[in-house]
Structure 1
Amino acid sequence: MRRLLVLGAGTAGTMVVNRLRRRMPRHEWQITVVEAGEYHHYQPGYLFLPFGRYTPDQVVRPIAPLIGAGVERVGGEVERVVPGEHRVRLTDGRSLPYDYLVIATGVTPRPDRTPGLLDGGQWRKRIFDFYTFEGAQALAGAMRAFDGGRLVVHITDTPIKCPVAPLEFAFLADDHLRRRGLRERTELTYATPLPGAFTKPVATARLQSMLSARDIVVEPDFLVERVEGTSLISYDEREIPFDLLVTVPLNMGADYVARSGLGDELNLVPVDRHTLLAKADDAIFAIGDANDIPTSKAGSVAHFAVDVFADNFVEHAAGRPMPGSFDGHANCFVESGAGKALLIDFNYDTEPLPGMYPLPGAGPFRLLRESAVNHWGKLAFRWAYWHMLLPGRPVPLPAHMSMAGKHLPIAEE
């Protein structure tokens, strides 16, 4: 009996075990997933909790029913991976052997890595995050109580989970404050370590114009060094005061990755960006947010990557070359307020471009343009996540990005 061990039952880990359980003969393969928690969180839903648009029960479900029959689930925390022994040690002393290992424990916010963020006395009083379930719920109370002043949306450093989410929060905050009649009493700032609103020029120009139209001030190239009282201080000594700070702390992979000697400075596992095979060991893969591939840490990336990985794993385990090559495909709805959103679709080599998706000319989703259809597409994704993506059912979207329906924008005179 050969053993596949998957660490983490988040988005990527759950899709991997459910997809491969259908592919690998049960009399030949034991598939086990290790997960300390009892609940699965729909993390894209955290964005809506501070504005009262989702309730907590809409973003949290028990893990057990989400794991398919024939997959063994082990509850516990990973202490370290011992590649030389093909073994994973848990913090309670148990030891789990494997023939192949998939690391899918993602990344988590680390506010402790920024001086003053946790230890300055303002955490969950004037400083909040929405990248955790608890943080998003606490921020909901702060947004209800906020009656104007200096609201700052801030990114500590990249990469982060769902890199458009801070932009979405800024747009939704603008909409929320306008509906409450508080926008004219609020100075809204978007502080980013990037030189602009996004990482690629076409999308940056579009998103930057949307921020400007909403009178959201962008503070680019802002690398925070510390928090002092109610001010962000950058390494070049710029200061941004706030009455309410919504921050995205540094995102890091699991600490056991570092203890195992498998990670970089952010505890991300270096992998081949096309096969997701760890550079240090050909029996280890890293899927989803846990690896260092140069694309967005987003659920769509996990979905498209697992599509390629599943076929590759079958061949790799049989000792044959892996036929698939993941191209870094990502697409993300960007909620922009007032019941609208835009969509971006891109990969390693092609930046987000205007057009229609997934059908050329027909869409129904518009790329880099706001529409109500895009907004409803984002909301509908929650159903698809629970009922199609996690169970590993086929989704009629190609894993590889297509240029069909896209076009280069015409430069303005």
Structure 2
Amino acid sequence: MKRLLVLGAGTAGTMTANKLRRELPLREWQITVVDRDDDHIYQPGLLFLPFGKYRTGQLTRSRRRYLRRGICFLTGEIDRVDADAKTVRLADGRVLAYDYLIVATGTSPRPDETPGMLGSQWRESIFDFYTPEGSAALAEALPRFTGGRFVVHIVDQPIKCPVAPLEFAFLAEAWFRAHGMRDRVELVYVTPLPGAFTKPIASARLGGMLDERKIAVEADFLVERIDPDNKVLISYDEREIPFDLLVTVPLNKGADYVARSGLGDELNYIPVDRHTFQSTAHPDIFVLGDANDLPISKAGSVAHFSAEVFAANFCEYAEGRPMTGSFDGHANCFFDSGDGLGLLIDFNYDTEPLPGTYPLQVFGPLSLLRETSRNHWGKLAFRWIYWHLLLPGRRLPVPTRMSMRGKHQPDKEN
């Protein structure tokens, strides 16, 4: 009996385990999935929770419920991986042996890494929204905010879903307008990047949208510390940005057991081959989702497209054959911009987000880098797709590899 152990039952771990359960004979394979609890959170919904779109209970379901029959699910904190002995030790002392290991324990915000962030103003005037607790606290704080300097801030890249902070800034601007207080709020977007996004075409489009909504941008801002008493962000080059209410995206890091196991880099991300997800140090370890060091967005779409490639590759590898699939870095993301509108971006390792239509040329039905109501409804519909199609590992009618169909360079627009 071959033993496949999956660490993490989030998006990547659940999808991959379900896909492999379909491919690997039950009589020959034992598939075990481990996570610290049984609470699977629909993370895209956390963005909307502060604006009253969801309640916390609507975003959480059982991890076990979404794993196919024949998969063993265990709960427990992971202490460390012994790659040489091919074992995983849990914090309660249990030791799990494996023949093949899939690491999919993701990334998480670490407010403790920025001096002053967890000071006297934490969840008083300093909030996060990447956690259920932070998003719920912000939902209570927003109605109490009567005006002043509202700052949306990113500590550093990489982060989960890198467009989410921009989305939050746009949704906040729309929320303030809807509540008749936009003229009392100064909105500032603070980023370590040189512009609104990492790629120039998208950065110019999104930067223009920030200008249209009168949201100021402070670029190239690398925060060194937060002064909670005076409510000021302070950068390494000694720039200061005051705030009345700060919505921050803390530094993101991989799981701590990765460091204890000697598997990761300084941010606890595990180095892998960017096309096959195979660990560069241990050939029987594969790393999916946000836990690896791929030079691409840490987003659910990457987990989806990479799982499609990986499942076929793993079956080849387990049979002693070369892996023939190659992940191209494909990512796409719906971007809600408020007022019932949204954008969609689609890109990969080699091609930046471009305008056009998706997934079909001319007919779309979705538009790229252009605000439409269809994109907004696509974002809202994704929650049903996530629970009923994506997590169970079913194929979606979109290309795994990025296609240039429907895309064009901005200078070729009519």
TM-score range, shorter chain: over 0.9
Report 1:295-310 matches (<5 A).
Answer: 295-310=296-311
Q: Which residue of 1 aligns with 2:313?
A: 312
Q: Which residue of 2 aligns with 1:258?
A: 259
Structure 2 CA distance, aligned partners of 1:36 and 1:205? 41
Displacement, 1:355?
0.2
Q: Which residue of 1 aligns with 2:401?
A: 400
Compute the TM-score of the two structures, normalised by the length of structure 1: 0.99
Could you tell me which amino acid in structure 2 is paired with residue 283 of structure 1? D
1:25 aligns with 2:25: yes
Structure 2 CA distance, aligned partners of 1:54 and 1:206? 29
Displacement, 1:62?
1.4
Q: Which residue of 2 aligns with 1:106?
A: 106
Q: For 1:157-203, what per-residue CA distance to the aligned partner results, in whole angstroms no more than 9, with x for missing partners? A: 00000000000000000000000111110010000000000011100
Structure 1 CA distance, aligned partners of 2:336 and 2:380? 10
Could you tell me which amino acid in structure 2 is paired with residue 113 of structure 1? E
Could you tell me which amino acid in structure 2 is paired with residue 90 of structure 1? L
Count residues in correspondence: 411
Could you tell me which amino acid in structure 2 is paired with residue 178 of structure 1? R
Structure 1 CA distance, aligned partners of 2:395 and 2:306? 14
Structure 1 CA distance, aligned partners of 2:286 and 2:296? 17
Q: Which residue of 2 aligns with 1:124?
A: 123
Q: Which residue of 2 aligns with 1:178?
A: 177
Structure 2 CA distance, aligned partners of 1:271 and 1:144? 45
Report 1:51-130 matches (<5 A).
Answer: 51-118=51-118, 120-130=119-129
Task: Please state whether the residue corresponding to 2:345 is helix, strand or coil.
Answer: strand
Task: Please state whether the residue corresponding to 1:304 is helix, strand or coil.
Answer: helix
1:141 aligns with 2:140: yes
Q: Which residue of 1 aligns with 2:386?
A: 385
Could you tell me which amino acid in structure 2 is paired with residue 28 of structure 1? E
Q: Which residue of 1 aligns with 2:278?
A: 277
Q: Which residue of 1 aligns with 2:6?
A: 6
Structure 1: state its 5+ residue gaps: none
Q: For 1:371-407, what per-residue CA distance to the aligned partner results, in whole angstroms no more than 9, with x for missing partners? A: 0000000000000000000001111111100000000
Could you tell me which amino acid in structure 1 is paired with residue 208 of structure 2? S
Structure 2 CA distance, aligned partners of 1:365 and 1:57? 30
Displacement, 1:351?
0.1
Report 1:293-372 matches (<5 A).
Answer: 293-372=294-373
Structure 1 CA distance, aligned partners of 2:224 and 2:367? 38
Structure 2 CA distance, aligned partners of 1:276 and 1:64? 25
Q: Which residue of 2 aligns with 1:156?
A: 155
Could you tell me which amino acid in structure 1 is paired with residue 252 of structure 2? N
Displacement, 1:411?
7.5
Q: For 1:134-168, what per-residue CA distance to the aligned partner results, in whole angstroms no more than 9, with x for missing partners? A: 10000001111111100000000000000000000
Could you tell me which amino acid in structure 2 is paired with residue 47 of structure 1? L
Structure 1 CA distance, aligned partners of 2:374 and 2:54? 19
% identity of equivalent residues: 67
Q: Which residue of 1 aligns with 2:34?
A: 34
Displacement, 1:36?
1.2
Could you tell me which amino acid in structure 2 is paired with residue 98 of structure 1? Y
Task: Please state whether the residue corresponding to 2:16 is helix, strand or coil.
Answer: helix
1:194 aligns with 2:193: yes
Structure 1 CA distance, aligned partners of 2:377 and 2:189? 26
Displacement, 1:365?
0.6
Structure 1 CA distance, aligned partners of 2:139 and 2:92? 36
Q: For 1:67-126, what per-residue CA distance to the aligned partner results, in whole angstroms no more than 9, with x for missing partners? A: 1100001111110000110100011111000000000000010000000000x2000100
Could you tell me which amino acid in structure 2 is paired with residue 281 of structure 1? H
Task: Please state whether the residue corresponding to 1:387 is helix, strand or coil.
Answer: helix
Q: For 1:188-241, what per-residue CA distance to the aligned partner results, in whole angstroms no more than 9, with x for missing partners? A: 000000000001110000000000000000000000000012100000011010
Could you tell me which amino acid in structure 1 is paired with residue 87 of structure 2? R
Structure 1 CA distance, aligned partners of 2:316 and 2:353? 32
Could you tell me which amino acid in structure 2 is paired with residue 177 of structure 1? F
Structure 1 CA distance, aligned partners of 2:117 and 2:314? 42
Structure 2 CA distance, aligned partners of 1:286 and 1:17? 13
Task: Please state whether the residue corresponding to 1:85 is helix, strand or coil.
Answer: coil
Report 1:226-241 matches (<5 A).
Answer: 226-229=225-228, 230-241=231-242
Task: Please state whether the residue corresponding to 1:232 is helix, strand or coil.
Answer: strand
Structure 1 CA distance, aligned partners of 2:56 and 2:252? 23
Could you tell me which amino acid in structure 1 is paired with residue 282 of structure 2? D
Task: Please state whether the residue corresponding to 1:212 is helix, strand or coil.
Answer: helix
Displacement, 1:57?
2.4
